[in-house]
Structure 1
Amino acid sequence: MTSVSFAAILVAAGHSSRMGSDKLWADLWGRPTWRWSLDTLLAAPGLARLALAVPADAVGRFTDALPADAGRCLVVPGGDARADSVIAGLWALTGAGHDDETIVLVHDAARPALSGDLVRAVATAADRTDGAVVPVVPVVDSLKRVRGERVVGPIEREEVVAAQTPQAARLGALRAAIEEAHAWGRPITD
């Protein structure tokens, strides 16, 4: 089976504000959390290049912690928001010779349980479409709609799914979508 060629952006510029400590550097079975995703992506057939978007003041720390076989990695300063880090990764990939038709997978480094099968499935699905690919899982929790502090009704879980990463799109389409959302002042959470 021929593998699909793709590039990836591993978003690692967050500040772990909800966790209260730097979850990306937490030791997870002998490796920092972010390395699990990086290692999975580097092992994926078809990966041409990976942009690792990190806090500007930590570029050296991340670079020093790369594995020996990380020659395809570009460590770039990310932004304050996830979308800014994705844009930084897209520009780094463009600078490395990738064009608007390159399939780009975007994964959150704080999600270390990435599997090679999911990477392959998302890259393959992206190769078959002109749109974006977003893996989802069913919502199993009971969900409620609120106004202020008051619960006003249920949300039917059959009508919603939870978005996962990696997500994929063509480089040019992804860049255009983020830039348009910024121009309209729309928040981008993934």
Structure 2
Amino acid sequence: MTLGPADDGVGRPLGPVVGIVVVAAGSGERLGAGRPKALVEVAGRSLIAHAVAGLGEAGFTSVVVVHTPGEEAAFRAAVAGAGTDAGVEVVLVPGGADRSASVRAGLAALPGDVEVVAVHDAARAFTPPAVLRAVVAAVTGDVVAAAPAVPVADTLKRVDGHRVTGTVDRSELVAVQTPQVFPAAVLRAVATEGASATDELALVEQHLADGRLEGRIVWVPGSARGFKVTVPEDLELAEVFATR
């Protein structure tokens, strides 16, 4: 699995060997589609197919898709054409009981020579190829994690129930997207059995805070196109991005 088609002329990649794990095991209850979110179609193509196609356009040649347990046949059909058209080899593995377990399943399916791992959400299927490439390129030197992010536009308030108690300084905040990218050894060290968090950056943050890890977490400019499809209204925006 390499980042892009570039090599040294005899098949060896110029950059690090990159493994891509696409987490697509969610049930999508909030979307209310009655099927796994990644299989919901937008502009005639499933979200997982859009995600695979975008990774291929960014130059990735192989991805591991962590699918909803019991839905392998449906996922295989969904990605078949997208992978072929984009020149991407797709490996399917069933997900676990939660996100962290699904990421571990994806990690276990990667080849042993992978040096950098990118964990991407199928629900962020329209992330631009330039963002995909930029966040992988950011993992260098003492960087132990990187992710695309966008500044927070809304005014944020602290609340106690329905009572507003204060305003949060949004100048120090960004909204993080995926893929989240790590040196392979770092992700394997933090994504251990029993570890659980809303995203993989949080696991790295925990290790940095208690001294089990040293280095920096960085962010690169994300994109409005990297939004996460979560509720039915999001499909309208997804339709716009899928047809432009």
> Is TM > 0.5 for Structure 1 vs Structure 2?
yes
Q: CA deviation at 1:128?
A: 4.7
User: C-alpha distance in 2, partners of 1:162/1:130?
Assistant: 19
SS in 2 for 1:53: strand
- Whether the 8 Å contact between 1:6 and 1:49 is mirrored in structure 2 is no
- Whether the 8 Å contact between 2:38 and 2:48 is mirrored in structure 1 is yes
Select 1:41's aligned residue among 34, 41, 55.
55
TM-score by length of 2: 0.67
User: C-alpha distance in 2, partners of 1:92/1:34?
Assistant: 18
Runs of 5+ consecutive residues of structure 2 not aligned to the other structure? 7-13, 200-244
Aligned to 1:149: 162
- Whether the 8 Å contact between 1:13 and 1:80 is mirrored in structure 2 is no
- Does residue 115 (structure 1) correspond to residue 128 (structure 2)? The answer is yes
What amino acid is the match of 1:58? E
Select 1:56's aligned residue among 66, 69, 73.
69
Select 2:175's aligned residue among 162, 171, 182.
162
- Whether the 8 Å contact between 2:23 and 2:102 is mirrored in structure 1 is yes
Aligned to 1:12: 24
Q: CA deviation at 1:127?
A: 3.9
Pairwise mapping of residues 115-134 of structure 1 onto structure 2 (< 5 A)?
Answer: 115-134=128-147
> Which structure exhibits the higher relative contact order, with contacts defined as CA atoms closer than 8 Å and separated by 6 or more residues?
1
Q: How many residues align?
A: 181
CA RMSD after TM alignment:
2.2
Select 1:81's aligned residue among 69, 77, 98.
98
Runs of 5+ consecutive residues of structure 1 not aligned to the other structure? none
User: C-alpha distance in 2, partners of 1:34/1:78?
Assistant: 14
- Whether the 8 Å contact between 1:37 and 1:113 is mirrored in structure 2 is yes
SS in 2 for 1:189: coil
Percent of residue pairs bearing the same amino acid type: 36
